[in-house]
Amino acid sequence: MRVAYFPDSFHEINGVAHTSRHFAEYARRRNLPFLCIRAGELPTRQTREGEFVALDLHRGLLSFPLDKGLSFDPAYVRHLPLITTALREFRPDLIHITGPSENGLLGAALAHHLGLPLAASWHTNVHEYAARRSGWFLRMLPKAKREPAAARIEHLALLASAKFYSLAKVLFAPNPGLCALLEKHTHRPCRLMQRGVDTQLFSPAHRDRRADDTAFVLGFVGRLSIEKNVALLAEVQKGLAARGITNFRFCVVGQGAEEAWLRENLPGAEFTGVLRGEALSRAYANMDLFVFPSHTDTFGNVVLEALASGVPAVVTPDGGPASIIQPGVTGLVAPDEAFPAAVASLIADLACHAAMREEARIAAGRASWDSVFDAVYQGYRDVLCSPAALPEPAVGRV
């Protein structure tokens, strides 16, 4: 089948972009008919390799930042003629979007206009981000009203997101809980679209710490932002110190708005900035425990990369990371208030920690990108082969 893919993010450093690049590589490697339409800072151009076609569209001067590395171009519709021409030449059977970016909105509109089935994958918990990013507003309310107001903001954002995603005939999400949530609010079928990991790139073989470096290294990789709950890292440091544990240090990989606060509140921590490739592989492998306090991640690619590197993880019960971890086998799942104790328990029990390192690597070895995208294509086939799922034929369909 011929798939036109409109990702929210492709060239940036985040989970959506990471998955999208692997999806495009999967299609290119298998020479599948695949049109990848993506926005970014690269010059506008179209490239072709066999059946794989990429259309890069430049975000212009009117673009404004949404987060570090992410932006939105309100004048993106100027690319409509180029996109329409590319679609006409490619003749897709289906359009797949990843969210309500300018690229996703245009993809959804074109699917409707051209009478093509629409697939949509949920990669970001926008409703939870909205609640956490509304702190500036909530601080102006009386303390008793802040929590109900945050819950209301989250609920309204979820309803708005569900309304958008209900335009699709089939949905994809990275964990079973999100699939159930989407099916409830959109009344559309939802399939799992989990994540894979490169177990050669991420491997304990990249560990190169000095033999005399006996510190227990606690690692974090990701955006240093409020929705990642990174303030909990400072609570972990305080909790360990209160228990008399001193032979540890943090290694924090990433950038973001909370970096200055973390530097002030994590004395002795190493801040590497953004790392890629072998440098990132070494950073993971040189960690002893991955500490990931986010409540909003829909999957947690970084957790899987840590496991592949032989590094067990401590995560919260909320979101996708909890579905990756086997509690007591590849790591621990703990609420915020129990995070310091969970970390301390693994520092104290080195035999348990060593067993978890081995199990983490084994578990990651079962996660393959090919199996992830094979399942996505099966979802496409189910949509295209179901008469009830197909839209009415559109006049002038490409």
The pair of three-digit structure tokens given for residue 241, joined into one six-digit string: 């110190």
Q: In terms of pLDDT, which residue wins out, 264 or 398?
A: 264
Closest among 135, 177, 162, 132 to 294, alpha carbons compared: 132
Question: Is residue 313 in some structural domain?
Answer: yes
289 phi, psi to nearest 5 deg: -150, 135
Question: Is residue 21 in some structural domain?
Answer: yes
| Burial of 295 per CB tally in 10 Å (0-12, 13-18, 19+) | buried
Question: CA 203: distance to chain centroid?
Answer: 21
Closest among 20, 112, 12, 2 to 65, alpha carbons compared: 12
Given pLDDT bands bounded at 50, 70 and 90, which one contains residue 80?
A: very high
Distance CA 312, CA 288 (A): 8
Question: Is residue 26 in some structural domain?
Answer: yes
Q: Do residue 302 and residue 314 come from a single domain?
A: yes
Contacts 24+ apart (CB under 8 A), 206-214: 206/278, 206/281, 206/282, 206/284, 206/285, 206/286, 206/309, 207/282, 207/285, 207/286, 207/309, 207/310, 208/282, 208/285, 208/286, 209/286, 214/247
pLDDT over 70 (residue 128) = no
> What does R_g of the chain's alpha carbons equal in angstroms?
22
Question: Is residue 397 in some structural domain?
Answer: no
Question: Is residue 150 in some structural domain?
Answer: yes
Q: Which residues of 298-318 are buried (b: 16+ CB within 10 A; e: fewer)?
A: bbbbbbbbbbbbbbbbbbbeb
Total number of domains constituting the chain: 2
Report which DSSP code applies to 93. Answer: S
Mean pLDDT throughout 365-393?
Answer: 78
pLDDT over 80 (residue 248) = yes
Domain that holds residue 308: 204-364
Question: Is residue 398 in some structural domain?
Answer: no
Question: Is residue 396 in some structural domain?
Answer: no
Residues 6 or more apart whose Cβ sits within 8 Å of residue 283: 219, 221, 251, 253, 272, 275
CATH number, domain containing residue 356: 3.40.50.2000
Q: Do residue 117 and residue 266 come from a single domain?
A: no
The pair of three-digit structure tokens given for residue 273, joined into one six-digit string: 């900035």
Q: Do residue 29 and residue 115 come from a single domain?
A: yes
Three-state DSSP string of 76-91:
HHHHHHHHHHHHHHHC
Give 90's Cβ-side CA count (13 Å radius).
30
- Per-residue pLDDT reduced to its tens digit, 159-207: 888 899 999 999 999 888 889 989 999 999 999 888 899 999 999 999 9
pLDDT at residue 392, as a whole number: 45
Q: Do residue 327 and residue 312 come from a single domain?
A: yes
Q: How far is CA 232 from CA 53, 168, 241, in A?
A: 43, 37, 14
Reported as type and span, the H/E element at residue 66 is strand 64-67
Mean pLDDT throughout 294-318?
Answer: 93
Vertex 176 angle, CA 189 and 8, to 5°: 70
The pair of three-digit structure tokens given for residue 162, joined into one six-digit string: 């569900």
Task: Check the CA dihedral 107-110-114-120 and report its sign.
Answer: positive
Query: Are the beta carbons of 271 and 260 closer than 8 angstroms?
Result: no
Question: Is residue 381 in some structural domain?
Answer: yes
User: DSSP readout, 278-338?
Assistant: HHHHHHHHT-SEEEE--S-BSS-HHHHHHHHTT--EEE-SSSSHHHH--BTTTEEE--GGG
- Per-residue pLDDT reduced to its tens digit, 41-73: 889 999 999 999 999 999 988 888 776 667 889
pLDDT over 50 (residue 398) = no
Mean pLDDT throughout 10-19?
Answer: 87
Q: Do residue 240 and residue 374 come from a single domain?
A: no
Closest among 153, 109, 121, 118 to 135, alpha carbons compared: 153
pLDDT at residue 50, as a whole number: 95
Q: Do residue 181 and residue 319 come from a single domain?
A: no
pLDDT at residue 111, as a whole number: 96
pLDDT at residue 195, as a whole number: 87
Q: Do residue 115 and residue 185 come from a single domain?
A: yes
Distance CA 100, CA 130 (A): 14
Given pLDDT bands bounded at 50, 70 and 90, which one contains residue 227?
A: confident
Reported as type and span, the H/E element at residue 58 is strand 52-58
Q: Is the pTM of this model over 0.95?
A: no
pLDDT at residue 71, as a whole number: 84
Q: Do residue 308 and residue 385 come from a single domain?
A: no
Collapsed DSSP state (helix, strand, coil) of residue 64: strand
Q: Do residue 374 and residue 240 come from a single domain?
A: no
Distance CA 336, CA 332 (A): 12
Q: Do residue 346 and residue 264 come from a single domain?
A: yes
pLDDT at residue 136, as a whole number: 58
The gap between the terminal CA atoms of the chain, to the nearest Å, is 15
The pair of three-digit structure tokens given for residue 132, joined into one six-digit string: 């956490």
pLDDT over 90 (residue 236) = yes
Q: Do residue 183 and residue 251 come from a single domain?
A: no
The pair of three-digit structure tokens given for residue 21, joined into one six-digit string: 């690049």
pLDDT at residue 45, as a whole number: 95
Q: Do residue 282 and residue 171 come from a single domain?
A: no
- Per-residue pLDDT reduced to its tens digit, 324-349: 999 999 999 999 999 999 999 999 99
